[in-house]
């Protein structure tokens, strides 16, 4: 069956003992650019593999266009292949199109009335236009330049490239080729702002269909015509029309409807419980009085009593039904949980009390003067007061992570660093390591916070770790899972100075939104410093900014 539409029906896929996809369906037509979103483990990459045909579903069907390109985590080229060979492969279809058009033009010149030749020429012309074949060689140079590969010698082997370069080369090959259907798994990984913007422009200019899994909210908002949320829902994955901003608005409206329905049901439950209790008590009292009354009055009262009893039974039946089928309360959004304050300030008081009672213009929590780490960092002056919200930006290698390590006290620089006595500091690094890898996630959380605090703020209530992973050993966790556990510890017991290095990495778009909102709320840490490449976060940042440059 030849089709230009991607059709998936009732896909089921189990990996190990876990059903990752359970009856997922999807339709994508030319011109549609569909984003797949959801928590880690929701099945985004699995679904892309099934759509691409690199994996097979346990049940369900996929009908896909023949001209399909798939960007996934492993580069589909041999290690000894050169960049030139990769480019030749990407340009092969365009060059074939042009060669065939030349051949068919020559034959048509000799046989202008040949219907078969005319049909073949028309089909090849359509294909060349779809691939924009006439512009392919020029496009190849532009794509390589914009993705930061223009200066890399074409004779270099794929194996000699860095991981980021290999990922960009695979993406470049697909953008040069321009297939009719494009499947992309986290395409903006390893891209700077300019490169990501270029990729967005390229995808919006394609006439074919695109299905992309991404955590990049700015990318989803710039590219997608539809979004599919793969997180578990009563009726399965939900498809939303529009880009990420429209999705956010709809999710807010959904939550408001959910909260309103839950509140209305709780009011009805309370009313039914009161009605059943009061009416049943009245029935009991009337029954006691009637036993001593005359028969005539007792007969009339008995009819009334039966009606009341029937109402009690009906109310009790409705109460049982509603209690059984009631809408659960919506899960609370991610929020920081400061400990209750027991002091009001002073050198000997709880340092958290100073965070609560001192405004942003008060005594600095931490100050830097002429701080230097040769080749890595140079800061003339930086003061962090309680309530500060500081975003640190700059290219890779500019010293963002180094600055956070200095602020955390993990690096001792040249210059002056003044900390307020007793200052509590927490740092979320990009690669978190726990010292007891054999402990479970649950045990690690309880050991770090203490049993009382861990019970007050249960780990499962934060939404950062899936319930199925609570009993995994920490040493078995992925990098993303370890970072989410480390973030959970900071959320459950926030320090006065919170330092976050690329905090939205490995978070679903929903959790990233909740984290940003929590950081802006008054109940969070006393001061926050974030280093981030996240364009969505940076575009919506309302605090101070510090941009670092290469040394």
pLDDT by residue (tens digit) across 15-34? 988 899 999 999 999 999 99
Contact 390, 545 (CB under 8 A): yes
H or E element in which residue 528 lies: strand 527-531
Q: 110 φ, ψ to 5°?
A: -85, -30
Q: 232 φ, ψ to 5°?
A: -55, 135
Rounded to the nearest integer, the mean pLDDT of the chain is 86
pLDDT tens per residue, range 424-435: 999 999 888 899
Res 272: pLDDT: 81
| Token digits of residue 259 | 């909260």
Cα dihedral value 137, 138, 144, 150, nearest 10: 110
pLDDT band at residue 487 using 50, 70 and 90 as cut-offs: very high
Share of the chain above pLDDT 90, in %: 61
Res 307: pLDDT: 63
Is the pLDDT at 547 greater than 70? The verdict is yes
Res 287: pLDDT: 53
pLDDT tens per residue, range 530-543: 999 999 999 999 89
Q: Which of 87-91, 108-112, 140-144 has the lowest mean pLDDT?
A: 108-112
pLDDT band at residue 340 using 50, 70 and 90 as cut-offs: low
How many whole angstroms separate alpha carbon 292 and alpha carbon 313? 26
pLDDT tens per residue, range 67-104: 999 997 666 788 889 999 999 999 999 999 999 999 99
Res 326: pLDDT: 79
Residue with tokens 């009416």: 279
Res 443: pLDDT: 96
Residue with tokens 């807010």: 252
Supply angle C-alpha 30, 32, 33, rounded to 5. 125
How many whole angstroms separate alpha carbon 195 and alpha carbon 342? 51
Res 362: pLDDT: 61
pLDDT band at residue 331 using 50, 70 and 90 as cut-offs: confident
Res 295: pLDDT: 52
Q: 530 φ, ψ to 5°?
A: -120, 135
pLDDT band at residue 353 using 50, 70 and 90 as cut-offs: very low
Res 281: pLDDT: 62
Q: Which of 131-135, 269-273, 502-506, 516-520 has the lowest mean pLDDT?
A: 269-273
Q: Residue 224's CB: how many other CB atoms inside 10 A?
A: 28
Average pLDDT over residues 456-481: 91
pLDDT tens per residue, range 244-267: 999 999 988 988 988 898 888 888
Q: Residue 449's CB: how many other CB atoms inside 10 A?
A: 18
Share of the chain above pLDDT 70, in %: 88
Res 355: pLDDT: 31
Res 354: pLDDT: 28
Res 239: pLDDT: 93
Res 474: pLDDT: 94
Contact 207, 31 (CB under 8 A): yes
Res 348: pLDDT: 35
Is the pLDDT at 360 greater than 50? The verdict is no
Q: Is the pLDDT higher at 163 or at 281?
A: 163
Res 112: pLDDT: 86
- For the question of whether the overall pTM of this predicted structure is more than 0.85, the answer is no
Strands (E), 322-453: 366-373, 377-384, 389-393, 414-419, 425-428
Is the pLDDT at 505 greater than 80? The verdict is yes
Is the pLDDT at 325 greater than 70? The verdict is yes
How many whole angstroms separate alpha carbon 199 and alpha carbon 189? 12
Supply angle C-alpha 465, 469, 470, rounded to 5. 80
pLDDT tens per residue, range 299-315: 555 565 566 667 777 77
Max distance between CA atoms of the chain, in angstroms, equals 118
Is the pLDDT at 386 greater than 80? The verdict is yes
Res 229: pLDDT: 94
């Amino acid at each position: 069956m030849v089709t230009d539409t991607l059709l998936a029906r009732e896909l089921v896929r189990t990996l190990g003992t876990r059903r990752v996809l359970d009856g997922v369906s999807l339709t994508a037509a030319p011109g549609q650019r569909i984003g797949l979103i959801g928590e880690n483990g929701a099945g985004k990459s699995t679904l892309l593999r099934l759509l691409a045909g690199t994996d097979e579903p346990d049940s369900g069907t996929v009908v896909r266009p023949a001209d399909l390109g798939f960007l996934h985590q492993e580069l589909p080229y041999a290690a000894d292949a050169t960049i030139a060979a990769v480019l030749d492969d990407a340009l092969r279809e365009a060059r074939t199109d042009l060669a065939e058009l030349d051949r068919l033009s020559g034959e048509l010149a000799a046989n202008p009335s040949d219907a078969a030749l005319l049909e073949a020429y028309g089909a090849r012309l359509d294909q060349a236009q779809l691939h924009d074949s006439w512009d392919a060689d020029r496009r190849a140079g532009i794509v390589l330049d914009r993705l930061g590969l223009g200066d890399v010698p074409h004779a270099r082997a794929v194996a000699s490239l860095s991981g980021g370069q290999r990922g960009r080369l695979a993406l470049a090959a697909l953008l040069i080729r321009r297939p009719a259907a494009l499947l992309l798994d986290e395409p903006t990984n390893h891209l700077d702002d300019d490169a990501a913007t270029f990729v967005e422009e390229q995808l919006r200019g394609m006439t074919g269909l695109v299905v992309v899994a991404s955590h990049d909210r700015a990318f989803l908002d710039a590219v997608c015509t539809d979004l599919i949320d793969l997180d578990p829902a009563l009726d399965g994955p939900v498809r939303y029309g529009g880009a990420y901003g429209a999705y956010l608005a709809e999710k807010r409206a959904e939550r408001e409807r959910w909260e309103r329905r839950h509140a209305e049901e709780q009011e009805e439950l309370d009313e039914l419980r009161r009605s059943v209790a009061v009416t049943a008590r009245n029935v009991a009292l009337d029954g006691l009085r009637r036993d001593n009354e005359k028969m005539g009055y007792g007969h009339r009262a008995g009819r009334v009593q039966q009606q009341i009893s029937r109402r009690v039974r009906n109310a009790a039946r409705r109460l049982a039904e509603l209690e059984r089928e009631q809408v659960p309360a919506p899960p609370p959004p991610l929020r920081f949980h400061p400990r209750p304050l027991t002091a009001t300030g002073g050198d000997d008081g709880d340092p958290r009390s100073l965070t609560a009672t001192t405004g942003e213009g008060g005594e600095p929590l931490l100050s830097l003067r002429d701080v230097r780490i040769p080749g890595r960092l140079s800061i003339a002056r930086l003061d962090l007061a309680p309530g500060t919200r500081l975003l640190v930006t700059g290219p890779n290698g500019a010293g963002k992570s180094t600055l956070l390590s200095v602020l955390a006290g993990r690096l001792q620089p040249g210059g002056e660093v003044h900390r307020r006595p007793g200052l509590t500091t927490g740092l979320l690094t990009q690669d978190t390591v726990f010292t007891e890898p054999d402990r479970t996630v649950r045990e690690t959380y309880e050991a770090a916070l203490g049993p009382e605090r861990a019970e007050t703020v249960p780990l499962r209530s934060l939404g950062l770790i899936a319930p199925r992973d609570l009993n995994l050993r920490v040493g078995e966790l992925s990098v993303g899972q370890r970072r989410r556990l480390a973030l959970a510890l900071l959320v459950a017991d926030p320090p006065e100075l919170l330092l976050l290095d690329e905090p939205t990495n490995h978070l679903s778009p929903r959790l990233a939104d909740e984290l940003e909102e929590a950081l802006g709320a008054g109940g969070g840490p006393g001061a926050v410093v974030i280093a981030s490449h996240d364009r969505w976060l940076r575009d919506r940042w309302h605090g101070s900014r510090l941009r670092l440059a290469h040394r």
